[in-house]
A and B are shown apart, each in its own frame.
Chain A
């Protein structure tokens, strides 16, 4: 009978405690944001963690040397030029002995260096402390890299997002422009910057930045293209969010993994490119140093004063290896396919 009411006993239902209701839905593991999750997974990758720490230490040392440099990196003492490395009383590899014309001599004695004065990594052609110069050079190299990276971030990400988001004709034109820019050899750009601005850290960073954002823009565009048709963006659109807000609040966080990984590759590329510029003689102006200029000075006397090449090369390699391993680690950490 349709009219007949179903009779239920009054005690058939029991009100629940407010808290209990939530608890039953709770996931045992703590909830993690995307970044937290990635961080957790990155920590499992030993090589990446070690690299991260190595980089932190190098950055601290390089920046710290502004205040706590072993010696003034620009203080010259021509009488103490080209002294080999020496620590304390001297031991293997750091004994202050040099091989001059087939005979091993105590370079410190020859130069008349007083007892107790020693240079851990030796000195360069103007008698400047190589260790201090390397710290100084590392700082400049990192600075160049970070400035370049910053522009990479700003220009590359914005360009890629706009191109991908608007699509159609805008995209086509922007892609053509990209193609043209990427086909101009970066050396030409560098030369232009040096001529237009003063040669130095700024123009070199700018030149690297101008030519460096292309890859970033391409990657971001591809990701944006993929994402803009996904549900969460559609939802945001349907709810009437402004384009700017969608870009900043929804798109950007989801692009963060791509961006971070790419940045980790941009930094070493920039350091490397600066070293190349030093080689062809248009790097940082003296007496400023970068790892590139130190290496460039060092390789020329490699046969006589090998330490002047080896130490900057070692620092450069360590930085490069660390950034690369960290980037690999981050890529694995962010990659949903490797989620475990």
Chain B
């Protein structure tokens, strides 16, 4: 999904964690715990909704992950472990059916969590009336797409409560990442009575909902900048929960965040690039890796010269990605190696990372920095197109980091003789709507993986996808992507090869120019241990977090 609107990705790859998590807290003896188990956390934006059918951002998903509980939880290595389900179940009927046995647990209002709560929640999310923006995650479950389209009734969804504690899910086609989905807050249960009681106000304040996770949300009036998670006394596994409180505070100004961190008012802050650069030697530094790629799109419809491959290649070769990531961004971000980010997904056959496997010589050359070659290709390209000069606009977000990158890239690109680049920094949503409407020449855009499969990236650049803003078209690319979704859907190896081929075409043809993979720069109090972090999706799990003495 688009950067800033990131929610719930399910990343199969290794997550990053702070402390080796061999059972997390069980290794932390009571004696090593600090008296005051309060964790003070900074987030850069408000909590916009707690209704897990409706949320669209990463921060809300993280909080739901800590105040709710689904069938599974994920370890820091993204392995599913049982949560409300008594065990991690294997699919039957060729991957088309799952039967879960639920453990006995309670909502914070005292009523038991049952299989019907799952059925209710899932049906509610898929119903068009709820207009959930993430209902598409249900695709693959029987009738989900048809219900979302209004062609079938919600009750026809492939999910059934056999009895109060047995849940059966029927699939349309096998979904290789199904286990990961079950740990995703979008698939958490909802208490029907509570949802119906509050109607459209459900999940708009901390009082207007119930919780079944390790923590309960309090002091959130729906629009304020701070809220507190307190330990949930009704949680089935409360023994493992060590933190009494997690105090969240929205801080939007990075220098304020740093001041608050250094004076001990916060235990975990995110710093933006310039602050990060200056704190690079801080011993509390933690880099949180993310699965998002920032890439450059050329509007081939508006600027005919961009139809020329050599022109596109030349522009891409002027960008020194290493330097950009290290010296300009300096927030832990890394140079892009390809379109699909590192660590997103692994080869089903040999477990190799997609990005690494896709790194042939041609792909490497496509994201290299080579001014000499760039100038040569540029000269040839100009001749082929028949132009002497090219004036283009480079559009991007108006965040500080984005401004810097654009400034840097503009400077690099203008080293090509006759190329004049004008920068345009716009508010995120304005930038997005202009991108979609094709009102740009070049745009710096970003995508965050929704789940741990390259298709979440590859889909975007097919000829007909509305997010293919540059209108780059390539028949072989389209064919490979389509084959991976249809003809080879049930054949993991062939499907994987399709995706690798598509990436290869994209890179050698320079349909887009990947620039960097974004990471987050944090300062985390060294006394805070046992934070479980996942590269995308509901990033943090604080169930086993504790404050050491």
Contact = CB atoms under 8 A, between A and B. Distances in A.
A78 B323 contact: yes
Contacts, number: 72
Of B277, B393, B398, which is in contact with the most chain A CB atoms at under 10 Å from its CB?
B398
B254 A287 contact: no
B163 interface: no
Nearest to A302: B255
A100 B281 CA distance: 9
Interface in B382-434: 393, 398-400, 403-404, 406-408, 410-411, 422-427, 430
Nearest to B434: A195
A195 B430 contact: yes
A326 B24 CA distance: 68
B547 to A, nearest CB: 26
A199 B410 CA distance: 17
Contacts of B327: 78-79, 81
A281 interface: yes
A126 B275 CA distance: 15
A200 B399 CA distance: 16
B391 to A, nearest CB: 13
Nearest to A75: B411
A128 B407 CA distance: 11
A54 to B, nearest CB: 31
B459 interface: no
B274 A282 contact: no
B328 interface: yes
Contacts of B281: 100-101
Contacts of A74: 411
A334 B251 CA distance: 50
A79 B406 CA distance: 18
Interface in A200-234: 200
B274 A126 contact: no
Given A81-B327, A300-B275, A198 B408 contact: no
Interface in A292-325: 297, 299-305
Interface string B318-334: 00000100011000000
A305 B404 CA distance: 17
Nearest to B273: A125
A104 interface: no
A78 B254 contact: no
Contact of A301 (B275, B408, B425): B275
B278 A286 contact: no
Given A126-B407, A282-B398, A300 B254 contact: yes
B424 A198 contact: yes
B444 to A, nearest CB: 12
B258 interface: yes
Interface in B363-386: none
Nearest to B414: A74
A79 B407 CA distance: 15
B255 A300 contact: yes
Contacts of A194: 426, 430
B274 A301 contact: yes
Nearest to A76: B411
A117 interface: no
B398 A304 contact: no
A285 interface: yes
Given A300-B275, A300-B400, A304-B278, A282 B427 contact: yes
A278 to B, nearest CB: 10
Contacts of B411: 74, 76, 126, 287
Contacts of A299: 255
Contacts of B323: 78
A287 B328 CA distance: 14
Interface string B323-361: 100011000000000000000000000000000000000
A304 B278 CA distance: 7
B516 to A, nearest CB: 14
Contacts of B427: 281-282
Nearest to B258: A303
Contacts of A303: 255, 258-259, 278
B425 A126 contact: no
A199 B424 contact: yes
Contacts of A76: 407-408, 411
Contact of A286 (B328, B406, B430): B406
A286 B423 CA distance: 6
A100 B427 CA distance: 34
Contact of B424 (A78, A281, A285, A302): A285
A126 B329 CA distance: 10
A44 B359 CA distance: 76
Contacts of B399: 281
Contacts of B426: 194, 199
B37 to A, nearest CB: 31
A299 to B, nearest CB: 7
Interface string B269-285: 00010110110010000
A78 B273 CA distance: 14
B532 to A, nearest CB: 31
A198 B394 CA distance: 12
Q: Which 9 A-B pairs have CB atoms at the shortest separation, nearest pair first?
A: A304-B278, A78-B327, A286-B407, A281-B398, A287-B407, A286-B403, A76-B411, A301-B274, A285-B425
22 contacts: A78-B327, A78-B328, A100-B281, A126-B328, A126-B407, A126-B411, A194-B426, A194-B430, A281-B425, A282-B398, A285-B423, A286-B403, A286-B423, A297-B400, A300-B255, A300-B272, A300-B275, A300-B400, A301-B274, A301-B278, A303-B278, A305-B278
Interface of A: 74, 76, 78-79, 81-82, 100-101, 125-126, 194-195, 198-200, 281-282, 285-287, 297, 299-305
